[in-house]
Structure 1
Amino acid sequence: MGTSGGSAGHDRTDEQLLAAHVAGDRFAFEELFNRYHPQLYQLARITTRCPDDARDALQDAMLSAHCAAPKFRHDCSVSSWLYRIVVNACLDRMRRHKARPTTPLDGVACAGSIGDPAAAVDTAIVVERALMCLPADQRAAVVAVDMQGFSVAEAARMLGIPEGTVKSRRARARRRLATTLGCLGAPAGIAAARAGAR
């Protein structure tokens, strides 16, 4: 996620949109949230493992961000702030509903991969299923660092945990992924998952 995320016809930065929302612009927050909606929804799908929970968590996150905007401290990018709110909303919802069946993600594919497209899709599906088998805390750590590209320090701030905890959870997640993916291998699997999450 970038810090400006501009699109055609919209040249205000994330920070400008958030400031405009706080100042009373009725459309600024909607524009900001829509700018990152695809990534945030994908993140919610991966984190919750349930499409209904993902939609509900994203709605919860949107309301939380809308209300919390005046308290934004500018100690991270706006996109990182949104990411943290979505992850927290997902984890809160999962704590309330612990027993959920795993639902495969739709349309996860390895964009831009070389070779057989069918094999790329198969790889992405295998990786997605392996991610779904991870405990929520490990999945959040590996998604933040390996799929979303945040640093360990950024992930720690987003998740509200020490950097060492992010590292240990990520290491455990990668070991479990390597075991689950078998011959696919963790590096190839994570690369495929990262491509599918974009």
Structure 2
Amino acid sequence: MDTELTDVELLRAHVAGDAEAFGLLFARHRDRLWAVALRTCGDPETAADGLQDAMIAAFRRADSFRGDARVTTWLHRVVVNSCLDRLRSAQVRRTDPLPDDLDDAEHLVRTTVDPDPGTDPAHTYDRVERRAAVLEALGRLTPEQRAAVVLVDMEGYSVAEVAEILECAEGTVKSRCSRARARLSVLLADLLPDGEQRHRPSAAPERNRPTGTDVGSGTRRGPPPAATTLD
């Protein structure tokens, strides 16, 4: 089959009965879909299950694609919804109040997840530990906050695109990202140099703030895709 076909053409070919089209479409976007699933779930086994469920759903429901969004937006929507379904069905945990100082939370998340590629190779192990810490911290967010901050801060989608993927208002995406960054700024503060640690919990008077719920992970039914590393 012509691998130069567009995403839309591949999806239409799949709906028309082409046996190879969907596999080519998935292979084209597998790495990014896997990264979204892994960062959303925070656990490789749960992410593998979520991505597997999503691709089965997309395969079976491809004829529901209306063409009013990009195919990649539709695929990400299916993957995120599948992962959120798994997270919501897991054990609920308590979330903690937000910190007061939030000025550099977004920078903290970005620099922790995407270290400088020019770093000395001797620090590879440290980078692996940092990324593992990020996944653990993401697992302490609510599913909705996690999906929003993963798509915006880690995958580079615009707020408008994420609103389309998550099927919610742009203001909702901004709110979820803000709360996620605030929480992550506390959980990941120890990973920054001393000069950048500006988000440690303090003894400041506690304010009345809304709280939400957090969720755990699921069980694995199959192996993860070939690409299982964070970009």
TM-score normalised to structure 1 length = 0.77
Indicate the SS of the match to 1:197. coil
Indicate the SS of the match to 1:126. helix
How many residues are paired up?
174
Aligned-pair distance for 1:44? Answer: 1.5
Residue aligning to 1:85: 78
2:188 pairs with 1:181? yes
Q: Give the unaligned 5+ runs of structure 1.
A: 1-8, 101-108, 187-195
Give the direction of change, closer, same or farther, for the CA distance of 1:122–1:95 in structure 2 (3 Å limit): closer
Cα distance in 2 for residues equivalent to 1:124 and 1:112? 13
The answer on whether the counterparts of 1:81 and 1:158 sit within 8 Å (CA) in structure 2 is yes
Give the direction of change, closer, same or farther, for the CA distance of 1:22–1:112 in structure 2 (3 Å limit): farther
2:147 pairs with 1:154? no
Indicate the SS of the match to 2:67. coil
Specify the code of the residue in structure 1 equivalent to 2:180: A
Give the direction of change, closer, same or farther, for the CA distance of 1:42–1:84 in structure 2 (3 Å limit): same
Aligned-pair distance for 1:76? Answer: 1.9
Of the candidates 135, 145, 150, which is equivalent to residue 152 of structure 2? 145
Residue aligning to 2:175: 168
- Please list, as runs of the form range in 1=range in 2, the aligned pairs for 1:1-198 lying within 5 A after superposition: 10-98=3-91, 110=114, 113-117=117-121, 118=123, 119-182=126-189, 184=192, 197-198=230-231
The answer on whether the counterparts of 1:147 and 1:197 sit within 8 Å (CA) in structure 2 is no
Cα distance in 1 for residues equivalent to 2:7 and 2:15? 12
> After superposition, what is the alpha-carbon deviation per residue over 1:83-119, rounded to whole angstroms, capped at 9, x for unaligned?
110000011112222369xxxxxxxx85761223324
Instruction: From the two aligned structures, give the one with the greater helix fraction.
Output: 1
Cα distance in 1 for residues equivalent to 2:135 and 2:79? 19
Give the direction of change, closer, same or farther, for the CA distance of 1:23–1:112 in structure 2 (3 Å limit): farther
Aligned-pair distance for 1:36? Answer: 1.6
Cα distance in 1 for residues equivalent to 2:139 and 2:90? 16
Aligned-pair distance for 1:56? Answer: 1.8
Cα distance in 2 for residues equivalent to 1:148 and 1:138? 14
Cα distance in 1 for residues equivalent to 2:155 and 2:80? 12
Aligned-pair distance for 1:165? Answer: 0.9
Give the direction of change, closer, same or farther, for the CA distance of 1:127–1:55 in structure 2 (3 Å limit): closer
User: Which range moved further: 24-33 or 125-134?
Assistant: 125-134
Query: Alpha carbon RMSD of aligned pairs, Å?
Result: 2.5
Give the direction of change, closer, same or farther, for the CA distance of 1:128–1:56 in structure 2 (3 Å limit): closer
Specify the code of the residue in structure 2 equivalent to 1:124: R
The percentage of counterpart residues that share the same residue type is 47
Cα distance in 2 for residues equivalent to 1:113 and 1:132? 25
Specify the code of the residue in structure 2 equivalent to 1:114: G
Cα distance in 2 for residues equivalent to 1:18 and 1:90? 22
Say which structure, 1 or 2, has more relative contact order (CA 8 Å, 6+ apart). 2
Larger Rg: 2
Give the direction of change, closer, same or farther, for the CA distance of 1:124–1:49 in structure 2 (3 Å limit): closer
Cα distance in 1 for residues equivalent to 2:133 and 2:48? 23
